[in-house]
Amino acid sequence: MNFLNRKNWVTILFIGFVIILAIVGSTISVIAQDLNKITYPVADLGNCANQQECKAYCSVSDNYSKCAAFAKKIGLDIEIPLEQRAILEAMQKGEGPGQCKDEASCRNYCEDIDHIEECISFVEKFNLASGDELKEIRKMADVKKAGVAFPGNCKTKESCMQYCDNSANAVVCMEFALKAGFIPKEDAEAVSKILPYLKSGGKLPGGCTTKESCDTYCNNNTNVTECVNFAEKAGFMTKEDADMVRKAGGKGPGNCGSREACDSYCKDETHIDECVDFAVRAGLISAEDAEMAKRFKITSGPGGCKSKAECEAFCVTNQDVCFEFAKDHGMLSEEDLKNIEEQKKFLESLDKASPEWLVCMEKELGSSFFERFKVGKLTQTEAKSPALEKAQRKCGGEMAQEKQIACLALSCAEFEACLKALESSGGEQGGEQQGEGTPNPAINAKVQACQQEKINACIAKPCGEFDACVNALQQGGGKQGGQQQQGESDPKLKAKIQACTDEKINACLAKPCGEFQACLNSLGAGGGGGGGAPDPAVQTKFMSCFPPPPSGGGPSSFINNSFLAAILGFLLK
């Protein structure tokens, strides 16, 4: 509240006449040889008892006129430096402001603001003020010339100070200081906040009228609540900050009294525990956050943020900085690092996302949310929001269904390739995912139809190629295993299998007995064979190639002969 400091404007009103008297008074000196005319003590000079006391008395500006009159009275010669003689001569001729000739008359005349132009002209004429001093005096004269009314129409230093020392007149005095340009730029914003508050009926704390008096009042702990209420209502503090100060009793860690002082104190790692405990009491951070701050020796977050809200706002647009900060302070687990890397890959994959998916996501999320989503600038709350999850599920499902529909129009060979490509890209391009839940019935029907088409193609092949075709179909089935089982129960497929088995058996029957055994062995190991009763033709061929032994000799059972047991096993399959 520098606007209430008298030095800003009240003293400027009267600087002119003070300079005049100081300079004029300093020119007066008594010639040394005449000092023996003086008899001590000198009643006219405050009863000074010796030369040193009298010299000290006459060095005071208020005593200049008395000393000059005394010197003239006893006939002492006055020595005046040449550079000052013109000033004294002008005043002796009545050319001083208001024709003043001594301190009292000059003071009375120049204290009246109505005479400021005349007094300034005299100061300028004899170069009695420095450039900066003259600039300040001229500023006051310009205000007077512009017709700006002085506070309470005061005209003298005493009357102006008396008027503005009354806190009830604070608004008038502040507005005058603003118009006169006496308030520094750095304080103008503060005044612009205080004025509306005072005009609305607000009061300065304790009725203070100067910066010094307000500081003194508010530095008293018993006045904290009143001063904080003023700061909040005048707009100098947010409600959150005001509540914090109230809870803390007006003093921060180490009794710091300002944000700057508190920041400086808490940057010292030796004060971390004290500052963190204070933050918990003031409601700035949770107990959980406090524990983390103590564990990792954190006095402030990335970018110097001080609260969870500040840090989250900073990290939305400075994710790399925040990531490095968390990493350097050991705040990330291996799982966290893995999730972050996955998120980076996901963001990179957005470049490959289909335009349709991007349009869908923007529609579901809204332009603002979507733009932050695209560049990875979401807050933690937004990143975990149900709205985002719902949008990804919906748009991913819609895009997958559209692509599946496109696959349905293709031939079976192209259809399978289309589905495989869709499955391999699911979730990697901008979050597109195939719909969850029940599979598309049309897709299932197409898969079954294509499987049947392959089976029919195998059935159409000669038996020499049929087995290889069916084996390839079984090995490449993948997710189509269910359809393969349906194919195996297909009557046409079963008939083809039986026909090819019969063809193989007939080929074995046509071979001589020496090759018959090996032929049947190959059928038993690789494949074919139908169910039911043994083939009569095979039995007959077997009996002719391997007649039963004479009665009473040889094995009592086919089972005792390993080769015969193998043949029997094939026949009974």
Query: Per-residue pLDDT for 568 more than 70?
Result: no
> Between 491-509 and 441-459, two packed helices, what is the crossing angle to 10 degrees?
20
Tokens read off for 554: 């040889």
Whether residue 423 has pLDDT greater than 70? no
Report the 10 Å Cβ neighbour count for 2: 16
pLDDT top residue among 560 and 266: 266
Q: Which two tokens stand for residue 537?
A: 């033709």
Q: Does residue 342 or residue 517 have the better pLDDT?
A: 517
What contacts 298, CB < 8 A, 6 or more positions away? 272, 292, 329
359-371: per-residue pLDDT in tens? Answer: 888 888 888 887 7
Tell me the C-alpha distance between 106 and 100, whole Å: 5
Report the candidate in 178, 26, 17 with the shortest Cα–Cα distance to residue 98: 17
Structure confidence at residue 349 (pLDDT): 63
Among the residue ranges 2-16, 31-45, 375-389, the one predicted with the least confidence is 2-16
Q: Which tokens hold the place of 572? A: 């009974």
Q: In this predicted model, what pLDDT tens digit does every residue of 233-271 receive, in sequence order? A: 988 888 887 887 787 776 778 877 667 778 888 878 788
| pLDDT given for residue 33 in this prediction | 44
From CA 564, how far away is CA 568, in angstroms rounded? 6
Q: d(Cα 564, Cα 554) in Å, to the nearest integer?
A: 13
**Is pLDDT above 80 for 36?**
no
* Of 214, 238, 240, 210, the residue nearest 226 (C-alpha): 214
Alpha-carbon span 570 to 456, nearest angstrom: 28
Name 504's bridge partners.
none
pLDDT at 205: 92
- The string of pLDDT tens digits covering residues 81-118 is 666 677 777 877 888 899 887 767 887 888 888 888 89
Burial state string for 198-232 with b = 16 or more CB within 10 A and e = fewer than 16? beeebebbbebbbeebbeebbeeeebbeebbebbb
Cross-strand pairs, 42: 48
- The pLDDT, as a whole number, for residue 547 is 77
Tokens 């700006």, located at residue = 148
| Beta-strand relationship, 78-79 and 29-30 | antiparallel
- Give, rounded to a whole angstrom, the gap between the first and last alpha carbons of the chain: 108
Quote the mean pLDDT of the chain. Answer: 74
Question: In residues, how long is the chain?
Answer: 573
- For residue 285, CA distances in Å to 260, 278, 304 come to 19, 9, 15
pTM (two decimals): 0.40
Residue 272 has a pLDDT of: 81
Separation between Cα atoms, residue 103 and residue 21, nearest integer Å: 6
- Of 210, 267, 221, 216, residue with least CA distance to 245: 221
428 — pLDDT class (breaks 50, 70, 90) = very low
Q: Could you tell me what percent of the chain has a pLDDT over 90? A: 3
pLDDT surpassing 80 at residue 571? no
Which pLDDT belongs to residue 49? 93
Per-residue tokens: 499: 């026909």
* Contact by Cβ (8 Å): 146, 155: no
Range from 220-224, 513-517, 533-537 that averages highest in pLDDT: 220-224
Which pLDDT band, with edges at 50, 70 and 90, does 289 fall under?
confident
Q: Which is nearest to 150 in space by CA: 137, 163, 166, 135?
A: 163
φ, ψ at 19 (rounded to 5°): -65, -45
DSSP 109-158: HHTSGGGHHHHHHHHHHTT-S-HHHHHHHHHHHHHHHTTPPPGGG--SHH
Token pair of 477 as six digits: 């089935």
Predicted pLDDT of residue 61: 57
Q: Are 142 and 39 in contact (CB under 8 A)?
A: no
- Please report the pLDDT score of residue 257 as a whole number: 65
